[in-house]
């Protein structure tokens, strides 16, 4: 590893291992690597000759990426910190956070201050900056429900632009930053409008059941409603999803497919047990994990990789897996689901 260009706050390094920067624990390297900790750093970087000559890869928490090869361009690790209240009244608060803040730590920070709205999104891996990009969601809540605005830097001009809710075109695990504006901006700050009044959502998944179990235990400690929901979500996620520190993974590898009402009825006729969640537009969301499990993949080991034994949506690195091994397994799973159900499942993870 060698240093090729630096300023007071920023050093561009050469030939850097990315193993520690992706939760799959895949060994791959970056030709050039730089960590930015302020918007000013980023704007300065964009004006450098090296930046302008290289292909770019923006890295947040590395929890939603599968590296299948060395990256021959410039990897920019987003590490902008900071959490502050920018607007407040007796009912609501707007909290702004740096893109490099750990998402779960940010959720806990807000819960500790009585700011509700993101407690159902506890323990989702990744950074604040990545959250609106793919409109992260869990247990009936999505980022779009609490999103206020974000700041992003134009990757060509280095100018700072503010994006409001309508500008982001949020969809299921989608935003304008994954489509029309992909590769054109880097998110630097995100603001969320949260509530000071507990307005909890416990209707999705096993939250209600988990809350009952928690309250029935002899060592139960009274806590606020949003603290309770957060704790329930954490318990559910920990029971289903492996810790990347213990076994390499990127959480849910596939998105849940959304089917037309007609297509779902055909599927339901052939497979009466198939679960489905109706959406506002009349379409139906089907759990990809259920489809994968029916194809016999749950708990299956293939070489150095495999499918987690408790959650069929999660692909894992059993040790020394290469990115292409994981990708090959993902494609085999995708093909088998199509052959059995004629339903296409798409990766949620970014494959590089």
Q: Report the C-alpha gap between 156 and 185 in whole angstroms.
A: 8
Phi, psi of 134 (to 5 degrees): -115, 20
Q: Could you tell me how far CA 282 lies from the centroid of its own chain? A: 26
Cα 26–chain centre separation: 18
pLDDT surpassing 50 at residue 229: yes
To which H or E segment does residue 187 belong? strand 185-195
> What pLDDT score does 9 carry?
64
CB atoms within 10 A of CB 243: 11
Residue 1: the pLDDT is 40
Rg of the chain taking only CA atoms, in angstroms? 21
What percentage of the chain has pLDDT greater than the value 70? 96
- pLDDT at residue 3, as a whole number: 42
Q: Is the pLDDT confidence value at 125 over 50?
A: yes
d(CA 28, CA 248): 14
> For residues 280 and 16, which has the higher predicted lDDT (pLDDT)?
16
At residue 104, the 3 state secondary structure works out as helix
Collapsed DSSP state (helix, strand, coil) of residue 155: coil
Segment 55-94, tens digit of pLDDT? 889 888 888 899 999 999 999 999 999 999 999 999 999 9
Q: What is the bridge-based pairing of β-strands 56-59 and 71-78?
A: parallel
Mean pLDDT of 265-281: 91
Closest CA to 1 of 41, 30, 37: 30
Band (27; pLDDT cuts 50, 70, 90): very high
- Go through the domains of the chain in sequence order and give each one's CATH number: 2-78 (3.30.43.10), 83-195 (3.30.465.10), 248-351 (3.90.78.10)
pLDDT tens profile 141-186:
999 999 999 999 999 999 999 999 999 999 888 899 988 998 899 9
CB 170 within 8 A of CB 147: yes
Q: Is the pTM of this model over 0.75?
A: yes
Instruction: Tell me the catalytic residues.
Output: 173, 252, 348
User: What helix, strand, coil percent values describe the chain, rounded to 5?
Assistant: 30, 30, 40
Cα 85 to chain centroid distance, Å, stands at: 24
Reported as a pLDDT band with limits 50, 70 and 90, residue 232 is confident
Report the pLDDT value the prediction gives residue 2, as an integer from 0 to 100. Answer: 41
Report how far residue 105's alpha carbon sits from residue 93's, in angstroms, rounded to the nearest whole number: 18
pLDDT tens digits for range 276-331: 988 888 999 999 999 999 999 999 999 999 999 989 999 999 988 999 999 999 99
Report residue 222's pLDDT band, with 50, 70 and 90 as the boundaries.
low
Residue 4 scores a pLDDT above 70: no
Other beta carbons less than 10 A from residue 139's beta carbon? 20
- pLDDT interval class at 8 (50, 70, 90): low
**Per-residue confidence (pLDDT) for residue 6, from 0 to 100:** 47
Cβ neighbours of 219 (radius 10 Å) = 5
Nearest to 236 by CA among 302, 329, 139, 315: 139
Q: What are phi and psi of 147, to 5 degrees?
A: -70, 135
| pLDDT tens readout for residues 63-73 | 889 999 999 99
5 has a pLDDT exceeding 70: no
Question: What mean pLDDT is reported for the chain?
Answer: 90
């Amino acid at each position: 590893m060698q240093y090729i260009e630096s300023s007071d706050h920023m050093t561009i390094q050469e030939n850097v291992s990315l193993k520690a920067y992706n939760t799959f624990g895949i060994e791959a390297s970056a030709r050039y690597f730089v960590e930015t900790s302020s918007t000013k750093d980023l704007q300065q970087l964009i004006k450098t000759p090296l930046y302008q000559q290289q292909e770019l890869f923006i890295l947040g928490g590395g929890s939603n990426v599968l590296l299948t090869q060395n990256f021959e361009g410039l990897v920019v690790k987003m590490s902008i910190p900071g959490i502050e209240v920018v607007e407040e009244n007796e009912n609501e608060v707007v909290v702004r956070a740096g893109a490099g803040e750990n998402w779960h730590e940010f959720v806990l920070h807000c819960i500790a201050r009585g700011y509700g709205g993101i407690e159902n999104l506890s323990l989702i891996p990744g950074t604040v900056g990545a959250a609106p990009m793919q409109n992260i969601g869990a247990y009936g809540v999505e980022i779009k429900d609490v999103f206020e605005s974000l700041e992003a830097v134009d990757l060509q001009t280095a100018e700072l632009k503010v994006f409001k809710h309508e500008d982001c075109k949020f969809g299921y695990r989608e935003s304008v930053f994954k489509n029309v504006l992909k590769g054109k901006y880097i998110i630097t700050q995100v603001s969320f409008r949260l509530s000071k009044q507990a307005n909890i959502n416990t209707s999705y998944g096993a939250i209600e059941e988990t809350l009952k179990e928690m309250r029935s235990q002899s060592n139960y400690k009274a806590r606020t409603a949003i603290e309770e929901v957060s704790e329930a979500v954490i318990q559910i996620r920990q029971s289903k999803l492996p810790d990347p520190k213990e076994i390499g993974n990127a959480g849910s590898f596939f998105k849940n497919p959304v089917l037309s009402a007609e297509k779902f009825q055909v599927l339901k006729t052939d497979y009466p047990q198939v679960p489905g969640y109706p959406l506002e537009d009349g379409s139906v969301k089907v759990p990809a994990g259920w489809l994968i499990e029916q194809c016999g993949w749950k708990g299956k080991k293939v070489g150095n990789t495999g499918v987690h034994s408790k959650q069929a949506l999660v692909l894992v690195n059993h040790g020394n897996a290469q990115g292409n091994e994981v990708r090959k397994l993902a494609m085999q799973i995708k093909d088998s689901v199509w052959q059995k159900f004629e339903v296409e499942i798409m990766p949620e993870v970014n494959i590089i």
